[in-house]
Amino acid sequence: MIDQQTSLPQPEVNEPDDRPTPASSRQHEPGRQFGIRDGLFQAITQGGGEHYLSAFALLFQATPFHLSILSAIPQLLGTWAQLVSVKVSHWFPNRKSQVFWGIIGQSVSWIPILALPLLWPQLGPWLLIAGVAMYFTFTHFTSPAWNSLITDLLQSNERGMYFAKRSRVMAMTSFLALCLGGALLSFFEHRQLLWVGFAVMFLAAGLCRSASALSLMKVTDLPHHEPGDNPTGFRVFLRTGVSKNFRQFLLFSSLMHLAVLIAGPFFVIYMLQDLHLAYWEYGTWLAAGIIGHFVTLPAWGQFGDRFGNKALLTFSGLIVAVLPMLYILSTAWPFLVAVNFFGGVVWAGLGLGLNNYVFDAVQPTDRAKAVAVSSTVNATGWAMGTLIGSWLIGTVPDSLQLGAVNLEPASNLPFIFFLSGVLRLIVSAVLLRTFHEPREVEHRAHRRLLWELPLLKPLRQFSLRRPTGTSR
């Protein structure tokens, strides 16, 4: 997964001096700690709530079309909420207040997510979609203010490590929540009370978001946000406030989301309906990806801080194309778990790169707008990908004849996963060359950077280590 070294000139570095002094760093330590605690509570909500929403939809006979809408519509509404969030930010006395009420909205949303489908099961999938749309609307409403607030607490060259640490806490917590959730559902499934398991999980998810809001109330001395001298709307911001690098990055990010979501919403159907995995097996498959996140996030954070987020995107963007293609090779559960583990490894890097490149590419006063715009284009690609994937399910055949080889998987979904991988590869190969690193970083040839990647670097260090007791 090495992108060729090109002879293109290095971009002009225009990194704002937003680094706080050591004194201010100590002053804002409570805010940094809140970011970690918020990640912990959010991870419980994700692992024991969000990850099982599609499985809950299947309880009400949801179709692939329902699942595509469940994935797409909440993201689009959430993106609209981000744009509104930036526009109405002056209604709130500070960013802390805006984040607080957004978190409260997320917490309350778990009540209709659980209750409405159970009360009217004949409309279950659509009522679930409505509840999830409400939840993600509040989630995205919080995002610009939260990201702007947290990045103001960090130096530009430590964001990678901080967000890697936060993501690592989230990965381990989400892993535990996933495992407990899978075990809980299997326990109640055997007693023909599966809905009770979902009720316990979703109510716990809502309570954990409330705990995050209570934690935020205890944080004081957060930095004030000073708007830019010439505040602009989104159209002016995109036309004059961002670089060509950032526009090309947005194109890459949106098309990558499109390619990924062609397959993303339908893994739950493949695992639970086509392969008939037990809930604990499905939960373990999900958890393997989280473990991959957990064990490699610090290394990815160091890699991004040292060599830049563009280099991080280059490697992870090309490797991520291979992952969905592997599902056509085998249906053995250990193999599927192993593939998702390496998927977690790669997505840890890709997620950090997509997130942190936005922070580096714009001025500090424009970060809330940049986060909202990035989320908008990503959600557009997200929605298009899910709808294309839903259409492909009804179009792609269940078997394929390649000469003397006849491929007959459990359904046509492995073929759709393979197409998703091909499109990811095209997006990465074409667009990764069109934007560059916006800040000063250490430069190395890509063939040398390969050995700095997580998992490969420890292997290289081990192979170069001299045996104990040998002569020099």
The residue among 312 and 71 whose pLDDT is bigger is 312
pLDDT of residue 192: 85
pLDDT of residue 235: 63
Contact 428, 315 (CB under 8 A): no
Q: How far apart are CA 209 and CA 205, in angstroms?
A: 7
- What's the domain count of the chain? 1
- The rounded mean pLDDT for the chain is 80
Contact 145, 82 (CB under 8 A): no
pLDDT digits (tens, 9 = 90+) for 32-75: 777 888 888 888 998 888 889 988 998 888 888 888 888 877 77
> If pLDDT is split at 50, 70 and 90, which confidence band does 333 have?
very high
pLDDT above 90 as % of the chain: 26
Is residue 471 a part of any domain in this protein? no
Whats the size of the chain, residue-wise?
472
Contact 96, 407 (CB under 8 A): no
Is residue 11 a part of any domain in this protein? no
CATH number of 244's domain: 1.20.1250.20
Is residue 7 a part of any domain in this protein? no
Q: How far apart are CA 133 and CA 434, in angstroms?
A: 34
pLDDT digits (tens, 9 = 90+) for 123-169: 989 999 999 999 988 988 888 788 777 777 777 667 767 877 887 78
Type of residue at 330 = S
Is residue 52 a part of any domain in this protein? yes
Domain that holds residue 299: 26-222+237-456
Name residues whose C-beta falls within 8 Å of residue 180's C-beta, 6 or more positions apart in sequence: 48
pLDDT of residue 67: 85
Q: Which stretches of 308-431 are DSSP H helices?
A: 309-319, 333-361, 367-393, 413-431
Is residue 18 a part of any domain in this protein? no
Name residues whose C-beta falls within 8 Å of residue 354's C-beta, 6 or more positions apart in sequence: 253, 256, 313, 374
Is residue 331 a part of any domain in this protein? yes
Q: What is the pTM for the complete model shown?
A: 0.67
pLDDT digits (tens, 9 = 90+) for 170-208: 878 888 888 888 889 888 988 888 889 999 999 999 999
Is residue 468 a part of any domain in this protein? no
Position 375 pLDDT exceeds 90? no
Is residue 350 a part of any domain in this protein? yes
Name the token pair of 14. 């225009």
